[in-house]
Structure 1
Amino acid sequence: MPPEGAAGAGAPFAQERAVTPILNISCYKFVPLPDAQALRGALHAQALAADLKGTILLAEEGINFFLAGSAQAVRGFVDALRTDARFADLQPKESWSAQVPFRKMLVKVKHEIIRMDRPAIVPSAGRAPAVDAPTLHRWLAQGHDDSGRPVVTLDTRNDFEVDAGTFDGAIDWRITKFTEFPDALRAHKAALADKTVVSFCTGGIRCEKAALLMREEGLEHVYQLEGGILKYFEETDGAHYHGGCFVFDGRRVLQSDLSTQPEIAPEM
């Protein structure tokens, strides 16, 4: 349950979904998948049969996917995934649009589902502590965490994503790809030592690896934002965040109520 005093949900109301009938989901999980190659064909066939479009990334470290289609088809696909014990606790983030923002259905096997080039960082072996969206909302409102320590937010996304919107006062190291994050951290970590650092990204995947790396580098008071910006938009009123959230599909930028412009161009 959200902590006492949490902000109200900012997600679209049910009546809006009548005019925005396409359900978009994003979800990931770090879990060992030694059979990633074998999963590729099965998941591609299931997604095509459900008339879904989007991208599924598989790697030995886990799964990351972005899908769009009718609500019944999308949720049915996720339910089928959950019959595999490794995916039983998947909790996709949802938003709605008038059109499908993808042109194709792609399933790819990669070396990492989010590339950092740091093999020692294995999220499936143990996560860094996480803070949920309502708690971060409260911390930002009061200016400190529950121990009285100053709170800073650290944007782990690429520079062009940050330019679409970010938390007020967020640290932005202007990285152009996630593999630059480790070097940027080492160059700046001294400034973070006496603060509570909350790493964040679009949906949680990058900030999860980032938080683990920060702890490995000796920073003690580090959290990842559970579910990223999209979950923050879903579970709060969006306060303390300015602009929108860049997404890698035809919608491009989502506002804090998870809405987009009425006309969208499908992703190439």
Structure 2
Amino acid sequence: MASVLNVSAYLFTRIDDREQLRPVVRERAVQLGLKGTVILAEEGINLFLAGDAASVRSFLEQLRADPRFAALRARESWSAEQPFGKLLVKLKREIIRMDRPTIRPEAGRAPAVAPADLHRWLEQGHDDTGREVVLLDTRNAFEVDYGTFAGAVDWRIERFTQFPDAAAAHRDDLRDKTVVSFCTGGIRCEKAAIHLRETGVDALQLEGGILGWFEHVGGAHWNGACFVFDEREALTPDLAPHDAAVAS
């Protein structure tokens, strides 16, 4: 029985007291028996945690009591066992490394498209203005190999810091098209969409990423599974661990 609640969440928000916040966040998670990873950076917070459902939700509620994290939204999935071996609370320069200091999502997001709207576009073969829609996978190549949207563009990058150079090399391929960048939970495609728009590409981000698509749409237009950064390895469109789905 799947009784362990897994959550992934991120928020671009200014954090000037990371060093002081780190032990507070860690102590709360320890007291609630949670395991996983929390990353704190000046640009925001990124977390993957698992544990008893009431404990996980209590932790998130405590975070949201801080006005900086009030808008934090979590994607939920379930597993039969704890998928993390320990708890880590890390300080990093960026919650997702791009090495482009001018890309500051906390100062303003790129436009987003909701899963239901993107589903409509894919079904009709174009966006609501009649333009071709290009799905751009911003994840690393090994993640893409687990599964991706049918027909998605994949530049075979090995790490996200390579994305800007790949975008420059392929910019002409995206001209006069509606580009929807996507990633696992939304964090990489949020930065990617901002960067693309700064280079003149009409780019949107998929709201909630692939996990948001699974939650609201399911497996439509999707092939395979979605890699996740824990011991479950990958999730199917019904948000179940891939291995469990195969075994059943």
Q: The TM-score by the shorter chain falls in which range?
A: over 0.9
Deviation string, structure 1 residues 64-121 (Cα, Å, up to 9, x no partner): 0000001000000000001000111211000000001000000000000000000010
Per the alignment, residue 260 of structure 1 pairs with 241
Q: Does 1:59 align with 2:41?
A: yes
Aligned match for 2:228, one of 227, 247, 265: 247
Deviation string, structure 1 residues 159-195 (Cα, Å, up to 9, x no partner): 0000000000000000000000000000001110111
| One-letter amino acid matched to 1:168 | A
Per the alignment, residue 203 of structure 2 pairs with 222
Structure 1 runs not aligned, ≥5 long: 1-18
Q: Does 1:232 align with 2:213?
A: yes
Please report the RMSD computed on the Cα atoms of aligned residues, expressed in angstroms: 1.1
Q: Does 1:124 align with 2:106?
A: yes
Distance in 1 (alpha carbons) for counterparts of 2:242 and 2:176:
41
Percent sequence identity over aligned pairs: 60
Alignment of 1:94-109 (within 5 A): 94-109=76-91
Per the alignment, residue 3 of structure 1 pairs with none
SS of residue in 2 equivalent to 1:102? coil
Aligned partners of 1:46 and 1:77 also within 8 Å: yes
Q: How many residues align?
A: 245
Task: Normalising by structure 1, report the TM-score.
Answer: 0.90
More relative contact order, 1 or 2 (CA 8 Å, 6+ apart): 1
Distance in 2 (alpha carbons) for counterparts of 1:167 and 1:80:
36
Deviation string, structure 1 residues 107-137 (Cα, Å, up to 9, x no partner): 0000000000000100011100000111111
Distance in 2 (alpha carbons) for counterparts of 1:261 and 1:182:
31
| One-letter amino acid matched to 2:217 | T
Distance in 2 (alpha carbons) for counterparts of 1:112 and 1:186:
22
Distance in 1 (alpha carbons) for counterparts of 2:104 and 2:73:
20
SS of residue in 1 equivalent to 2:29? helix
Aligned match for 1:205, one of 167, 187, 210: 187
> Structure 1 stretches (4+) deviating beyond 3 angstroms?
261-264
Aligned partners of 1:98 and 1:262 also within 8 Å: no
Per the alignment, residue 163 of structure 1 pairs with 145
Alignment of 1:50-89 (within 5 A): 50-89=32-71
Aligned partners of 1:144 and 1:150 also within 8 Å: yes
SS of residue in 1 equivalent to 2:36? strand
Superposition deviation, residue 237 in structure 1: 2.5
| One-letter amino acid matched to 1:232 | W
Going from structure 1 to structure 2, the CA distance change for 1:188 and 1:22 (only over 3 Å counts) comes to same
Distance in 2 (alpha carbons) for counterparts of 1:257 and 1:263:
12
SS of residue in 1 equivalent to 2:145? helix
Task: Normalising by structure 2, report the TM-score.
Answer: 0.97
Distance in 2 (alpha carbons) for counterparts of 1:70 and 1:210:
34
Aligned match for 1:46, one of 28, 50, 56: 28
Aligned partners of 2:225 and 2:242 also within 8 Å: no
